[in-house]
């Protein structure tokens, strides 16, 4: 009994060894007037995104009686199967707020909108630090150097009420950061 | 004509049979006429699959090279190499469902090389010579050529996410 059990164990181990052996896909050539060999090539491309084509936003001599708005076309590229991505915006204000500052003067809020197509003057409103999902890119390469030259719209606005709270002749500034992730 | 066991007889009685051996060889040569040229043959071995793994940098070229054994008994070890991929029209391209990822193939007539002459699908690269002295490279140099596969950053930057696979076939012919 003991011997039989041991034999079964060995046979099982041998079978497991055979099963664990990776299949060799490459083939070697024979000796002849011609000889043919082949190899299998494997590569894995991870999910990647890229945002580019961003420009600084400047509001010069903004009229406080109306909302000041700036829309720009940007390039967002995604290589996922759906070309999908998320975008998360953060400002340079307290708790990533979308605000402009000038020293000790009261900060000025602004709004950010995003559209998944270029040439738009409005889009979905972004909340600071909150990802906007379900976006799809029409870009076919990572910097839009081929195909469409841009694939999304970024819209930054300062409401009339906010403009009216600003001090004339003073420069306000801030930084808006956009994080794009594959989806 | 020498007996059928002629060589065995030589072994047992080397002295007296030496002359007979010479005579037998001469007779065999006369019966056979001029010696035919040795058939030119080649062999490619020691090929390994190419695994790029997950490519972290899609902006840069990724390159894999391997040293292989290419033996040719042709004049000066000459041979040609013709490569074909599993893409449409034998193109060098990997597939992930409907998505394609093109790659380049380079060949060097020396082992240990990380670059070589670019190959085009189904176009023979001629004028190669092998330094191998054994068809499996069991003796002499352990390898005699280099196969290089390159994934270009320009292609990777456009590639869809996923796992790609393909087959590269190499046809060697004696020269």
CATH number of the domain bearing residue A127 = 2.60.40
In a domain, A19, yes or no: no
Identify the domain containing residue A153 by its residue range. Answer: 49-182
Q: Is residue A26 part of a domain?
A: no
| Mean pLDDT score of chain A | 89
Q: Which residues contact A137 (CB under 8 A, 6 or more apart)?
A: A49, A76, A77, A78, A83, A84, A85, A116, A151, A152
Please tell me the distance from the alpha carbon of residue B175 to that of residue B173, in angstroms, as a whole number: 6
Is the residue at A15 inside a domain?
Answer: no
> Does A115 score more than 80 pLDDT?
yes
Phi, psi of A176 (to 5 degrees): -110, 125
Query: Domain for residue A44, yes or no?
Result: no
Instruction: Please give the share of chain B, as a percent, with pLDDT higher than 70.
Output: 79
Q: Do the domain assignments include residue A84?
A: yes
pLDDT at B17: 34
Q: Going by DSSP bridges, is the β-strand pair B78-85/B162-174 parallel, antiparallel, or unpaired? A: antiparallel
- Tell me whether residue A1 is in a domain: no
**pLDDT at residue B150 is higher than 50:** yes
Does pLDDT of A3 surpass 90?
A: no
Residue A11 domain-assigned? no
**Closest residue in chain A to residue B101, using alpha carbons only:** A43
Task: Give residue-wise pLDDT tens across range B11-50.
Answer: 232 333 333 333 444 344 444 445 556 789 999 999 999 9
A147 close to B (CB below 8 A): no
Q: What percent of chain A has pLDDT over 70?
A: 87
| Mean pLDDT for the stretch of residues A17-35 | 74
β-pairing verdict for A108-109 and B50-54: unpaired
Q: Check CB contact under 8 Å for B168 and A38.
A: yes
Residue B112 has pLDDT above 80, yes or no: yes
Q: Residue B157: which of A25, A27, A142 has the nearest Cβ?
A: A142
Query: Do residues B130 and B68 lie in contact, with contact meaning Cβ atoms separated by under 8 Å?
Result: no
CA distance A23 to A88: 44
The arithmetic mean of pLDDT across residues A166-175, rounded, is 96
pLDDT at B123: 98
- ipTM score of complex: 0.80
Is the pLDDT assigned to residue A45 strictly greater than 90?
yes
pLDDT at B37: 67
Would you place residue A11 in the very low, low, confident or very high pLDDT band (cuts 50, 70, 90)?
very low
Q: How far apart are CA A87 and CA A135, in angstroms?
A: 8
Look at chain A and report how many structural domains it folds into.
Answer: 1
What is the mean predicted confidence (pLDDT) over B161-167? Answer: 97
| B83 close to B47: Cβ distance less than 8 angstroms | no
User: Do B109 and B80 contact (CB within 8 A), yes or no?
Assistant: no
Residue A143 counted as domain residue: yes
Contacts of B163 in chain A (CB under 8 A): 42-45
Q: Is the pLDDT of residue A15 over 70?
A: no
Locate the chain A residue with the closest alpha carbon to B98.
A81
Which pLDDT score, from 0 to 100, does residue B74 have?
A: 79
Q: Cβ neighbours of residue B75 under 8 Å, at least 6 residues apart?
A: B40, B175
Strand partners, A172: none
Q: What are the Cα distances from residue A69, in Å, to A90, A124, A156, B18, B30?
A: 18, 14, 6, 108, 102
Question: pLDDT tens-digit profile of A85-110?
Answer: 999 999 999 999 999 999 999 999 99
């Amino acid at each position: 009994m003991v011997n039989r059990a041991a034999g079964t164990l060995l046979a099982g181990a041998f079978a497991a060894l055979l099963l664990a052996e990776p299949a060799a896909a490459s083939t070697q050539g024979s000796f002849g007037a011609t000889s043919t060999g082949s190899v299998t090539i494997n590569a894995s491309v991870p999910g990647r995104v890229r945002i580019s084509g961003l420009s600084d936003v400047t509001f010069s001599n903004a009229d406080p009686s109306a909302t000041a708005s700036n829309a720009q076309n940007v390039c967002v590229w995604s290589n996922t199967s759906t070309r999908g991505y998320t975008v998360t915006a953060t400002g340079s204000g307290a708790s990533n707020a979308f605000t402009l500052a000038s020293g000790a003067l009261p900060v000025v809020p602004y709004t950010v909108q995003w559209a998944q197509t270029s040439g738009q003057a409005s889009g979905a409103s972004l909340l600071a630090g909150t990802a906007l999902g379900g976006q799809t890119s029409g870009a076919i390469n990572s910097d839009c150097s081929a195909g469409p030259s841009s694939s999304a719209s970024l819209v930054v606005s300062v409401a009339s009420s906010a403009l009216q709270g600003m001090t004339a002749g003073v420069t306000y500034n801030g930084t808006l950061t956009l994080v794009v992730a594959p989806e | 004509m020498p007996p059928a066991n002629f060589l065995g007889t030589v072994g047992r009685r080397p002295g007296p049979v030496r002359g007979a051996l010479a005579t037998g060889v001469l007779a065999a040569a006369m019966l056979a006429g001029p010696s035919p040229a040795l058939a030119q043959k080649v062999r490619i071995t020691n090929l390994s699959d190419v695994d790029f793994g997950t490519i972290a940098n899609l902006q840069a070229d990724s390159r894999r090279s391997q040293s292989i054994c290419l033996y040719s008994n042709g004049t000066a070890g000459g041979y040609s190499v013709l490569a074909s991929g599993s893409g449409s029209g034998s193109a060098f391209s990997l597939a992930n469902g409907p998505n394609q990822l093109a790659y380049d193939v380079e060949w060097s007539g020396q082992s240990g090389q990380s670059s070589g002459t670019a190959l085009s699908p189904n176009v023979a690269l001629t004028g190669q010579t092998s330094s191998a002295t054994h068809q499996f490279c069991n003796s002499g140099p352990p390898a005699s050529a280099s196969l290089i596969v390159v994934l270009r950053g320009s292609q990777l930057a456009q590639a869809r996410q996923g796992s790609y696979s393909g087959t590269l076939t190499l046809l060697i012919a004696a020269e």
